[in-house]
Each structure stands twice: as C-alpha cells, then as structure tokens.
Amino acid sequence: MVDRPVECSHCKKPTTVIYKEIVDKSMICTEMCSDCPVLQSRLHGQTPPRLEGSNEKETGLFCGNCRTSMESIKMGNPVGCSECYSVFSDLIISEMIAADKVPPRIKKEFPTMKNQTLHLGKSPNKPLTIPSSSRLTSLNEALNEALKKENYEQAAWIRDQIKGLTDDGKK
C-alpha cells in the first residue's frame, strides 16, 4: 500500500474509502477515512505527490496541496497552507508540546484528545470585546497574590491602582 496518510492510522477511524488512481501504467491505491484531507485533495484533481516529476527523490509525508513535507515542519519551517494542519495535525501538536507552546491542559490530555477541539476563543465574524472590568479583575488577582507572598509594598501599590480605577469610575 502506498501513500497512506498518517491521519488515518492515528485517528483510529475505520478505513472507509479505497481510492485508486491510474496514471500511465502505474496504479496508486490509497486507503483512508472519509474525512481524510488527502482524499479531498485527490477528489479536487491534484496529482499524487509521488507521480510528479520523473526523478522524484523525496520521500515521507507531504501535504497534497502545497507540497510542504513532514521533514520541513519538523525543522520548524512555516506551515504552507490550511491543509497542512489536517495532514500534519499530530506532528504539529507534538512539536508545539515539545517547544512548550501549548497550555499544560493540552500537554496532559493530548494523547486522549487527538480529535477534539483545541481552540478556545473567537470564531470568524464574531467580534469580541473585553469589558472594562477586566482590568480590575487583573489587579485584584495581582493584589491577592502579593498578599499571599506577604509582599506588602507591592500590595499597597496595587491597592492604590485599584483605588484610582474605582475613583475614576465614580466620577
């Protein structure tokens, strides 16, 4: 079997599609799940990476859309397109975990949450405003922490800042 995308072996979804493509005298057979991004790129008429060029020397997993390779992502090069996030999903998360670029929650739960939503926050076309009270929340937290650490000088200064803000609000 050739060109099987990593996603399917990792996402543990049953293989539902067997895709065969005949170019000249060679046939490429790919088994994948129905959500597979590689299937999407095949259906949209893109040539499988291995058939491009007669002297193809590159091996390993490539993004079917922009030809970014797994090696390139591992080397810390930029991601080439949206599809890369599907093709290299697990690799991207692993690299981010290794570089300490995700919250501890994702680090801890990653092996069991491979297909879950990691994003928290705004979705397209939904404006997000921050209430003016958020500054007071930050200050109060900083004050509690300073008091916990018995850093009274710092606490006094933060208390002055809170007072300044609440006095401004009353005016």
Partner 1 sequence: MTEKSKLPEALLAHTPWEKEINPVWLATSFLLHRNLAKFNFPSKMDDRQSEQIRSTLQDQLLKSSLLRNPMALKASEISTIDKEFIYEHFLCFENFQNAAEGQGFVVDESGHFLAELNIQNHLQVQLTDCDGGWERSWNTLSQIETEIGNAVNFAFSQKFGYLTSEPYLCGTGLTVKAYLHLPALVQTGQLKETLLKQKEEGISAAGISGNLEEIIGDLVIISNAFSLGINEESIIHSVHSTAMKLMAAEKALRTHIQTENIPLIKDRVSRAFGLLLHSYQLQIKEALDALSLMKLGLHLDWIGGITDAKLNTLFFQCRRAHLLHMLAEPQLGEPQEISRKRAEFLHKNMEGVILKIEAPN
Q: What is the 3-state secondary structure (H, E, C) of 75-132?
A: CCCCCCCHHHHHHCHHHHHHHHHHCCCCCHHHHHHHHHCCCCCCCCCCCCCCCCCCCC
Q: Closest approach of Cβ 18 to partner 1, in Å?
A: 26
Q: Closest approach of Cβ 149 to partner 1, in Å?
A: 8
Read off the tokens for 97: 């975990």
What's the CA gap between 56 and 88, in Å, rounded?
Answer: 21
Count interface residues toward partner 1 (CB under 8 A): 56
Check if the beta carbon of residue 102 is closer than 8 Å to that of residue 96.
yes
Q: Residues 49-68 vs partner 1: string with x where CB under 8 A?
A: ----------------xxxx
Q: Closest approach of Cβ 53 to partner 1, in Å?
A: 17
Q: Pick the closest to residue 12 from 106, 105, 113 (CA basis).
A: 113
User: CB under 8 A: which stretch of 6-14, 19-27, 47-55, 150-158 binds partner 1?
Assistant: 150-158
Give the position of tokens 């690799």. Answer: 91
Q: Which is nearer to partner 1, 6 or 96 (CB)?
A: 96
Q: Closest approach of Cβ 12 to partner 1, in Å?
A: 16
67, amino acid identity: R
Q: Is residue 75 close enough to count as binding partner 1 by CB under 8 A?
A: no
Check if the beta carbon of residue 9 is closer than 8 Å to that of residue 15.
no
Interacting positions 103-142 with partner 1 (CB under 8 A): 103-106, 115-132, 134-135, 137-139, 141-142
β-strand partners of 93:
none
Q: Which is nearer to partner 1, 26 or 34 (CB)?
A: 34
Q: Pick the closest to residue 74 from 56, 55, 57, 60 (CA basis).
A: 60
Q: Which residues bind partner 1 (CB under 8 A)?
A: 65-68, 77-82, 85-86, 89, 92, 95-96, 99-106, 115-132, 134-135, 137-139, 141-142, 145-146, 153-154, 157-158, 161
